Amino acid sequence: MIPLLRFCFIIVLLFSRLGFAQTTPNTPAIPTQIPGHDAILVGTDWYPEQWPESRWEEDLRLMETANLKAVRIAEFAWSRMEPSEGHYDFDWLERAISLAAKHHIVSVVGTPTGGPPAWLTQEHPETLRIDEAGHRAVHGNRAHGSVNSPVYRNYCRKIAEAMAVRFGHNPDVVGWQIDNEYGYAWMSFDDFTRKQFQGWLQSKYKTLDNLNRQWTTTYWSQTYNRWDQIPIPVGDSNNPGLVLEWRRLVTDIWNDYQKNQINVIRAHADTRQFITGNFMGFFDGFDHYKMSEPLTFAAWDDYVGSGHLDPTSNGLTHDLTRGFKRSNFWVIETQPGAVNWAGVNNFLNKGEVRAMAWQAIAHGADDVSYWQWRSALNGQEEYHGTLIGADGTPAPLYSEVAQIGREFSSVQDAFRGTTVVSDVALLNSYDSRWAIDFQKHTGKYDQVELLKSYYAALRKLTDSVDVISPYAPLDRYKLVVAPDLNVLPKDLADHLLEYAHNGGCLVLGPRSGMKDDANGLLPQRQPGYLVDALGGRVEQYYALEKDFPVSGTWGSGEVKIWAEQMKAGAPNTEVLMKYGPSNGWLDDQPAAITSPYGKGRITYIGAVLDDKLMAAAGEWMVKNSNVTRTSITVPDGVEVSRRTGGGKQVFLLINFTREDRSVSLPHSMKLLLAQKEGSKVTLPPYGVEVLTEGR
């Protein structure tokens, strides 16, 4: 037995050193860390096709000096790789990848389908998008191809396949990015897409009688007698069922578009090479949970634009991206100080870029890459921030990014095989976002801001919060919060009821449980199929002209924008908050109620609460769900995060203020960046520290 145990130990140790995560049923696998390479990487986006080959060596030397470990390459080089139809030139790209490897830099190859070459669009004008007004796009920008065009898809597949054949087994290529910023341009409103939509609806609804019934098309005499009568929704006045189904089709179209390339890459590439795409945070052009399914892991482009970093918003978006596949992710583009597309393209403060990079790692990123290395000397993005100037020498920010690179390299062992594990989940439903945004009822209603208010209250009390699909497995969470789950069909209601019945604490926010799967009103009052379990319901909803007072278990304050008149309908239902004098209808009526259900609890908050009340509600939620609170208390402006895995914990402290902050630790810990042990951390403006347990 002893030799066998020793052999098993050696195998486990080997896998650990290679970077494979040790997993438990509650800890997802970590596919984003590259075996044999650093666990957390700093990278940049490099466009060697824009520069003489004699320049490449110096670029890569400067990257290596700054501890940059990865480049994304080729995602806009279609005209260089295929200068004319069927004539490929990949030799230059192979030389660039090989030269990067010489400088210990791995390559992520992007498929170039976000920028089709002129020979394609001129020979096949049908591949160009048509906008809602019927105008065809012209060549010279990006994302002007129609992702739904069979002709365009065929050319996209062919270039992706040719690249995969050439680089699918290249040892210096670690992964692929499909296209660039999916959904940057909207669908093509052409006859082919309209007929596809009609066929898609026929496949789903089977009969027109069924579609007409679910969409209530008798309203305004919308009844359809033939499938080809159904339009693509354009403008603001459309049947809600038509609008929601169109958004779902758009998701399917984009997913098929990326699979068209993924399938041919997978057929020719090593399994070790990952495949990802660069998403855009809270962009809602499609359902990101479905779009992420065929990807190895999710990635996103993290930009501030005007102003300065809002750590709550940015942290929320990191957690959203981590939730797409419930695993670690990459920040595959981020802001090198300034952008060129915002209202005011100010530069981030000294140290702010570093704090921003470490926050990404704290929330589960394993790579932070800067867009871009150096600007092209002409083109639409000449003024965008870079790491080196147009003259090829380092920009002032280069030294800060080099510091990030040194720090990432110095703490690899702490982060290898770690991920973020949360007790709390926020539910994010694209169906509900689309449904509410189409019929806001008040222009002030902002779903992302509502989600952020819940997130801010809960994130302060815990080390992490997951943002996930309502259909994701929920059993691992002690607390699940759905801020405005507007579309709540029976199968989803049953999923949530099972979670609560088995001991989970479910909290619903305003506008929950109003709509069915076809974006029609449920015949029950809110929250629909959850009324009986809640032991209460919504009597009426109100868009507010002004703030109204509210008081109760969470103290006194005000509600704003939206309020719902609740009714407690069961003996064990507790009224948590009541409205004060308001519009007469809401006076002294319940604003929030809660009830035990099975081994758990269901709570409904029927209004948008002010920040003070939201913080108190968060305290109540955490206490009543037995969520583990953060073990390190931090002052305002400082964020604490935790990553775990392989039997270890690593904490990150980040000071997002421009003043010194001090943090007292519960006991002496190792301060990895300061290279000492202690029980107190002093953080300068935008300061960072990485903590592990001391010996």
DSSP 208-240: HHHHHHHHTTTGGG---SSGGGPPPP-SS-S-H
Confidence of residue 462 (pLDDT cuts 50, 70, 90): very high
Residue 8 has what pLDDT?
38
Q: By mean pLDDT, which of 26-40, 166-180, 520-534 is the weakest? A: 26-40
* Residue 446, CA atoms < 13 Å, CB-side half-sphere: 8
Residue 31 has what pLDDT?
74
205-233 mean pLDDT: 97
3-state secondary structure of 268: helix
pLDDT of 16 strictly over 50: no
Q: Are 148 and 187 in contact (CB under 8 A)?
A: yes
Q: Are 656 and 311 in contact (CB under 8 A)?
A: yes
126-153 mean pLDDT: 92
Q: Are 173 and 111 in contact (CB under 8 A)?
A: no
Mean pLDDT, the chain, rounded, equals: 94
E strands within 569-636?
Answer: 574-579, 590-597, 600-605, 607-609
Q: Are 258 and 291 in contact (CB under 8 A)?
A: yes
DSSP 275: E
pLDDT of 105 strictly over 70: yes
DSSP 599: T
pLDDT of 13 strictly over 70: no
Q: Whole-angstrom Cα distance, residue 563 to residue 236?
A: 25
Residue 379 has what pLDDT?
86
Residue 359 has what pLDDT?
98
Q: Whole-angstrom Cα distance, residue 559 to residue 562?
A: 7
Domain locations in the chain? Answer: 11-20+29-185+257-415, 424-624, 638-693
- Global confidence as pTM: 0.94
Q: By mean pLDDT, which of 97-111, 126-140, 443-457, 467-481 is the weakest? A: 126-140
The rounded Cα 677 to chain-centroid distance in angstroms is 35
Contacts of 108 (CB under 8 A, 6+ apart): 43, 70, 71, 72, 73, 173, 174, 175, 176, 177, 332
Q: Which contacts (CB < 8 Å, 24+ apart) does range 204-208 have?
A: 204/245
Q: Whole-angstrom Cα distance, residue 686 to residue 683?
A: 7
pLDDT of 494 strictly over 80: yes
Q: Are 300 and 264 in contact (CB under 8 A)?
A: no
Terminal CA-to-CA distance of the chain, rounded, Å? 31
Sheet bearing 648-655, strands edge to edge: 638-645, 648-655, 688-693, 661-671, 676-683
Radius of gyration for the chain, computed over Cα atoms and rounded to the nearest angstrom: 26
Confidence of residue 34 (pLDDT cuts 50, 70, 90): very high
Residue 17 has what pLDDT?
30
pLDDT of 607 strictly over 80: yes
Q: What is the DSSP pairing of strand 466-468 with strand 424-427?
A: parallel
Q: Whole-angstrom Cα distance, residue 446 to residue 612?
A: 19
Catalytic residues: 181, 333
Amino acid at 627: V
Residue 2 has what pLDDT?
33
Q: Whole-angstrom Cα distance, residue 380 to residue 296?
A: 31
3-state secondary structure of 106: strand
Q: What architecture does CATH give domain 424-624?
A: 3-Layer(aba) Sandwich (3.40)
Token code pair at residue 249:
């089709």
Residue 408's closest CA among 449, 369, 459, 448? Answer: 369
Write the CA distances from 507 to 202, 428, 435, 540, 593, integer angstroms: 37, 13, 20, 19, 10
Q: Are 164 and 268 in contact (CB under 8 A)?
A: yes
For the chain, what percent of residues have pLDDT higher than 70?
Answer: 95
* CATH code for the domain defined by 11-20+29-185+257-415: 3.20.20.80
Write the CA distances from 139 to 2, 82, 119, 121, integer angstroms: 69, 17, 10, 7
Contacts of 171 (CB under 8 A, 6+ apart): 101
Residue 694 has what pLDDT?
64
pLDDT of 243 strictly over 90: yes
Cα angle: 84, vertex 85, 90; to 5 degrees: 70
Token code pair at residue 182:
């999916």
Token code pair at residue 351:
């140290």
* CATH code for the domain defined by 638-693: 2.60.40.1180
Residue 514 has what pLDDT?
98
Q: By mean pLDDT, which of 13-27, 412-426, 528-542, 589-603 is the weakest? A: 13-27
* Residue 643 CB coordination number (10 Å): 25
pLDDT of 24 strictly over 50: no
- b or e along 165-202 (b: 16 or more beta carbons within 10 Å of the residue's beta carbon)? bbbbebeebbbbbbbbbbbebebbbbeebeebbbebbe
β partners of residue 567: 537
Q: Whole-angstrom Cα distance, residue 505 to residue 602?
A: 6
Residue 624's closest CA among 560, 561, 574? Answer: 574
Q: Whole-angstrom Cα distance, residue 656 to residue 686?
A: 5
Q: Whole-angstrom Cα distance, residue 363 to residue 420?
A: 7
pLDDT of 156 strictly over 60: yes
DSSP code per residue over 319-353: HHHHHHHTS-EEEEEE-SS--SSSSS-PPPPTTHH
For the chain, what percent of residues have pLDDT higher than 90?
Answer: 90
